[in-house]
Chains A and B, each alone.
Chain A
Amino acid sequence: MGEIRNFRSGNHDEPPPHGSMPRRLAAIIVGDIASYSRLMQADEEGTHLRVKRIERDLIQPSIIEHHGALVKTTGDGFIAIFDSPVEAVRCSIVIQQNLVGRNASLPKETRIEYRIGVNLGDVIVEPDDVYGDGVNIATRIEGIADPGQVYISGAIYEQIKHKVVCGYESLGDRKVKNITDPVRVYRVLPDADAVGKTRGRRENTLIFLLGVTLLVIASGVLWYLLAQPHGKGTEQAAAPTAAPVASPSPQSQPRDAAQAPQPSPSLAASSPSPSPSAIPVREPEMIAIRGGSFAMGSNDDATERPIHQVAIKPFSIGKYPVTVREWNECAAAKVCGFVAAGKDDAPISNVSWADARQYAAYLAEMTKKPYRLPSEAEWEYAARGGTQTKYWWGDKLQPGMAGCKDCGDLAAEQPAKVGSFKPNPFGLHDMGGGIDQWVEDCWHKTYQGAPADGSAWSSGDCTSHVLRSGSWKNDSRYVRPSNRDGYDTNVRYPTHGFRVALSP
C-alpha cells in the first residue's frame, strides 16, 4: 500500500493530501466481486485468502503498471483513480482478462468474478478515500455490469473511443439510483476473442437452426424422390443433403490477379477459387489481436529480466504454427529449401530462422499482404492472452493445455498435429509447448535496452535469433509464455518451427 501512495504523490502534480479540499479530474475504476456473499458463505477463509491474493498479485500491480493509484480496497472490491481514461480502461481489461485465466480451471460456483465500472469525474481526493458524484456514478455503473465485464460511462467512452482498440457496445442511457440524469453506458468488449464469443453464440444458434432446416428439407426431398419410381432420383438427392456440410469456409482467399508466379498445378486443385484468375495460396488461419499494453518478462529466469511495460499495436497472428502442408506449398514453388516429410497437419519442424523468414516472404509475395514473423513482444503478448500468470491458464500445470515432456499425456508421434491442445484466451493454439517458434528478434541475453513499442529488436549481434514456446522435448518451465531462448540463425533443429504474423 505504501508503495502505491508514494507513487501517487510522487508522480502526480496534486497538492499535498492535507491541503484544502484537493479536487481533481480523474478516471475512477470501481470493482466489486459478484456473488461475494455466496462465496463467503461457502468458504469464508478460502475466499478471503483468494481475494487478498488477487488484490496483491493482480489488481495492485496492474494499477501501478497503468500509472494509477489504488484508493482503497473494501472487503469485496476496490476503488482506483487514474489520470488517463485510456490507462484506466486498459487496466480494467487487463484485470478482467487475467481473471479469465485464473478462473479457467475452477468450477463455476467457486470463480471469483469482478464487475468493473469506469467513470470520469471531478472528485475530492483524500489520502484514504475519494468522494464525489463521479465516484457514485462509477459505483452505479459497476452495479449494472455483468460479472467479468467492464462497463464505462459516456464520458469515458468519448475520451477513449479512438484510442483503445476494443469493441464497444452501447447500452443506451441508463437511469441509476439516486442520480438525477440518466447515464450513458457502454460495455467494453476487450479483445477479438470476446467479440468472437458474443457473436459466436448467436451464430452457432443460427447455424444450428439452418442445419436443422436444411436437413428437414433434404429428408423431405429424399423421401419424395425415393417414393417416386427409381431412376434419376438418387443422384439428385445427393445435392441437397450435402448442403449443410458446407459451413466451414476454405482458408484460401481470392488473390490479386496482377502477379502470376505459377505454382504447380497440384496445388491449385485443393481449394476452390472464386475468380478464375486467382492464385491459390493456402494462407494460414489468422487471428486478429487488438493492441494493448502488458508487462513483458518475468523473474523466473535471468533471460526474462527486467520485467518491462510494452505497448502492442493491433496485428494478426497465426492461430496455429505453420503446418507441413502450408510449408510444402512453398517448397513446391521452389522457394522454401526442402520438402517436409511429416503429416500434413503437423507443424513444420527442422527449420532455421532463415527458413522461417523465407516462408513469410513467400507468403507475402504470393498474397501481396505484409506477412512476416511476429516480434518477440507480439509473441509473448499473444501467448499470454491477456493474463499475467505463470502459464496462460493459471499458475499450476494442467493436462490438456500444452505439449511438453512433463505436461501430461503426449501422443506417441511427435510433433503432434497443430491444435491438439486447448486454445488460450485469444483463441490461439500451441502458444507454449508443441513446437519451438522463431520470432523476428535477434537474441539478447536479457531485456536490458529492449524496445518498448512492440517492435522487433533487430540491432546487436544477430548471429542467433529468439525462439519461443518450448517444444514437446522440453519440460514445463519452457512452456511459460515468458520463456525465451536463442539459437543460431542459420541452423536447423528438429524441434524448431514458427508461426506467421500480419500487419493490419
Chain B
Amino acid sequence: MSILRCIALSLSLAVLSSAALAQGKTAPKDAKLYFITPYDGAKVRGGFLVRFGLRNMGVTHAGDDYQNAGHHHLLIDVNDPIDPKEPIPQDKSHLHFGAGQTETFLELPPGTHTLQLVLGDAKHYPFDPPVVSDKITVRVRQPSQRGK
C-alpha cells in the first residue's frame, strides 16, 4: 500500500510540475472573472468606464509570482481563441493592466463592440484552465454633440 501511495504521490507531483513547466499556472476552479460595468448589451455614448470583477483570486502587479493572483487584460473585438501556450498578445485590441488596475476609461468608435476579460499570470500567460469573463457586447452611439 505504502509503495502504491508513493507511486501515486510521485505521479501527481510529476503531473503538477509538468503543468507548471508548460506555463499556464493553475487557477482555483471557482475563480470567476466578470464585468462590473458595463453590462452585456449596454448602450453607451462617448467614453465609458469599464470595471473588472474577480472572485476567489487576487489582483497583483505583472511580474509578481504569487499563487492564485494575476493581472487583467481587456480584449476588444477579438475573435481569435486564447492560446494557452503564448503570452496574451499586446496590441490595440489587447489592453494590459499590469500595474494591477481594476478599471479603465474606454473610448471606442461608434458601433457594436465586444469586450472580454482574461486574467494573466506574472508572465502574461493565461491560467490553466483559463480565467476569462463572458464576452459582452456594448453599443457605442455617436457622441451627442455631433448627433443629429
Contacts and interface: CB of A to CB of B under 8 A. Distances in A.
Contacts of B91: 473-474, 478, 485
A490 B99 contact: yes
Contacts of A490: 61, 99
B88 to A, nearest CB: 9
Interface string A447-479: 000000000000000010000000001100010
A488 B99 contact: yes
A492 B123 CA distance: 8
B92 A491 contact: no
A196 B87 CA distance: 42
A78 interface: no
Given A478-B91, A493-B90, A488 B124 contact: no
A463 B99 contact: yes
Interface residues of A, number: 19
Interface residues on B, range: 10 to 19
Nearest to A474: B91
Contacts of B87: 493-494
- By CB atoms of chain B within 10 A, which of A474, A478, A493, A495 has the most? A493
Interface in A284-317: 301-302
A463 B87 CA distance: 22
Secondary structure call for the A interface: loop
B90 A487 contact: yes
B89 A473 contact: yes
A488 B92 contact: no
B100 to A, nearest CB: 9
Given A473-B89, A474-B91, A492 B62 contact: yes
A436 to B, nearest CB: 8
B70 interface: no
Contacts of B98: 487-488, 491, 493
B27 to A, nearest CB: 20
Contacts of B89: 473
A367 to B, nearest CB: 30
Contacts of A492: 62-63
- By CB atoms of chain B within 10 A, which of A301, A302, A494 has the most? A494
Contact of A493 (B96, B97, B99, B107): B96
Contact of A485 (B62, B63, B92, B109): B92
15 contacts: A445-B107, A463-B99, A473-B89, A474-B91, A478-B91, A485-B91, A485-B92, A487-B90, A488-B97, A488-B98, A491-B62, A491-B63, A491-B96, A491-B98, A493-B62
Given A445-B107, A478-B91, A488-B98, 15 more contacts: A302-B109, A487-B90, A487-B96, A488-B62, A489-B99, A490-B99, A491-B62, A491-B99, A492-B62, A493-B87, A493-B90, A493-B98, A493-B124, A494-B87, A495-B90
